[in-house]
Amino acid sequence: MATDTVTTPQPGAKPRPDLAGAEWLSSSQGAGDVQIAFVGGCIAMRDGRHPEGPALIFTPAEWEAFVLGARDGEFDLT
């Protein structure tokens, strides 16, 4: 289980949760290319095909805005 350790690298910077030991979840839709983890009050998202790569970190408000935008087609590439 992941710890709830969160560090802030410098004043005004977004908190960065400790992702070591995070429990990553894959989508039941698609090929599991995107994984998320709930850690330290934040939501982390990474490329499941390259789990050693970087992760995007969202606050709960940012995550909600992202999900609502995706549902509304805001990010469609058509």
Give dist(CA 76, CA 57) in Å, integer.
Answer: 21
The pLDDT score that the predictor gives to residue 32 is 63
The pLDDT score that the predictor gives to residue 66 is 92
Give dist(CA 23, CA 2) in Å, integer.
Answer: 7
pLDDT digits (tens, 9 = 90+) for 39-67: 989 999 999 999 999 999 999 999 999 99
Tokens of 13: 């910077």
Q: Is the pLDDT of residue 78 over 80?
A: no
* Domain positions in the chain: 20-71
The pLDDT score that the predictor gives to residue 16 is 80
The pLDDT score that the predictor gives to residue 3 is 47
